[in-house]
A and B are shown apart, each in its own frame.
Chain A
Amino acid sequence: MLTEAPPAPAGPERRTATRVLVEHHEVLRGLIRHLRRTPCSRPGRRRALAGELYDELWMHERIEEEIFYPAMRDVTPALAAAWSEHRQLSDQLAALVRADPRTERFDRELDMLHDALESHAHLDEERRMFPEVERFADEDLLVGLGDRLSARLGRLRSSRRVRMVLRLQRTLLRHTAR
């Protein structure tokens, strides 16, 4: 008797590297939106959100720099610019963490972080680099990279050592601010 082959076990849905990164961009955008909606009368909440943004953006830069960019070296020429845009984001992030969340300066730094993130994530990656990568890179390669990116992101998020280092960085930055 002919029976139909059982459907393949429904494992977790596999996503391409660009999909993983775009989704993480959305997480970062959501955090910025959330921060913008939080009034300066709640400085504690603002500081906590800024801390979370610091950690997430730091991890985003790490997974891109350690996994995605090295794999894309022969696919797109835009990597050097992307590296330096990360640096601008890190600098702006430090400026945000150093700003007092009760002041207007915090809002200004947040606006600039928003602009810097859009410049990198939207104008550079989502509109230019990712379409190029999707056109020229192998689909299997991208799915494999996507697995590695999300696995690494999960590991970074759950690592106590990373959390501790990041908290130390934020504390140092805040306490040296003038």
Chain B
Amino acid sequence: MAQCALDRLPNAIEGEGRLDRPGHRLEHGLAFTENLLGITGGRARAVLHGVWLGHPLHPVFTDLPIGSWTTALVLDLTGHRRAARAAVGVGIAGALAAAVTGLHDWQHTHDEARRVGLVHGTLNTLALGLYGWSWWQRGRGHHLRGLLAALLGYPVIMASGFLGGTLVYRHRIGVDRTDERCEPRRFTRAMAERDLPDRSPRRARAGDVDVVLVRVDGRVHALEDACPHLGGPLSQGWLRDGSLTCPWHGSRFALSGGRSLNGPATAPAPCFQTRVRDGWIEVRRAPALTTAPPGSALAHQQEVQP
């Protein structure tokens, strides 16, 4: 029963097409601001997406306001007014950091997730406003007003946190979308060597896996064709400074190793070993390092060099 009621909220938001227009307006403004500040092509982009962390940076900050404002509530109830104000302040700082990283991630989402994210952000802004006012009023000695604003803001931040969970667990935003496969385990023909031009990505099929092949300086590189962020077709992307750019959201991947360089993808693109035999480009999955026992098939795959 309760589960159905909780389900209805995200369902209603996902189906609300009227959220698209303000969402896109906001994104246009955000895009221009980021280009103006040099974030798009700069190092701040990767930092804000959390590429250095290996997963999105946003959830690191969201714990701060939720935890601090919960603490403030407890401190208010036990009569520690000054400590409560400090806790509210820490929460505000965390909420600002979460807002910046959250907007940065949100701009690269699609459709339903985008709508949920817009409501999530709006609710957070509302809560941030209430807590900001609470902090200010507490500073001026109006403790009761501050407490009232905090009591109003707390359910808002809870609802918003619920939507944040929806974004991760239902829409898989920020989650590595690559499926863990081992195929092809052996070198498999993907494309005739003469069909692959220099410095231009091409899609090929190796067994039942789509790969993107790129030849740079005589070396053939192969990555899985789906971007680990939202599954964009990397074979329709382009090269930038020796890395492959996803055509959808501009994540750049190192050609050897598939490491993400700038986000929004924080996970690496799965990589393949390549070799040329009898005029054919052959690829084999480069397995992630595992702790497979010696002699097992996986360990064998890791040890044998092309």
Q: Which residues of A are in contact with B by a Cβ distance under 8 Å? A: 65, 73, 80-81, 83-85, 87-88, 90-91, 94-95, 98, 112, 115-116, 119-120, 123-124, 169, 172-173, 176-178
Contacts and interface: CB of A to CB of B under 8 A. Distances in A.
B41 to A, nearest CB: 6
B35 A81 contact: no
Interface stretch (B103-111, B125-133, B173-181): B103-111
Q: Which 6 A-B pairs have the closest CB atoms?
A: A115-B238, A80-B110, A94-B35, A119-B247, A84-B248, A91-B40
A122 to B, nearest CB: 9
B36 A119 contact: no
Contacts of A90: 28, 31-32, 35
A94 B238 contact: no
Given A88-B248, A119-B238, A81 B232 contact: yes
A67 to B, nearest CB: 13
Contact of A95 (B24, B27, B40, B249): B40
Contacts of B249: 84, 87-88
Contact of A112 (B24, B35, B240, B248): B240
B250 interface: yes
A90 B110 CA distance: 17
Nearest to A117: B238
B40 A84 contact: no
Contact of B31 (A81, A91, A123): A91
A89 B102 CA distance: 22
Interface string B234-273: 0011111000010111100000000000000000000000
Interface string B10-33: 000000010000001001100110
A66 B32 CA distance: 18
A17 B37 CA distance: 36
B31 A84 contact: no
11 contacts: A65-B24, A81-B248, A83-B24, A88-B245, A91-B31, A91-B40, A94-B32, A95-B40, A98-B35, A115-B238, A172-B36
B38 A177 contact: yes
A116 B238 contact: yes
Contact of A123 (B32, B236, B240): B236
Interface residues of B, number: 27
A85 B37 contact: no
A65 B28 CA distance: 11
Contacts of B35: 90-91, 94-95, 98, 173
Q: Which of A87, A169, A173 has the most CB of B within 10 A?
A: A87
Nearest to A124: B236
Contacts of A112: 238, 240, 245
Contacts of B108: 84, 87
A59 B51 CA distance: 33
Contacts of A65: 24
Given A95-B41, A124-B236, A85 B36 contact: no
Given A94-B40, A112-B238, A119-B247, A87 B31 contact: yes
A87 B27 contact: yes
Contact of B247 (A83, A95, A116, A169): A116
A80 B111 contact: yes
A32 to B, nearest CB: 14
B236 A178 contact: no
A87 B247 CA distance: 10
A120 B27 contact: no
Interface in B64-116: 107-108, 110-111
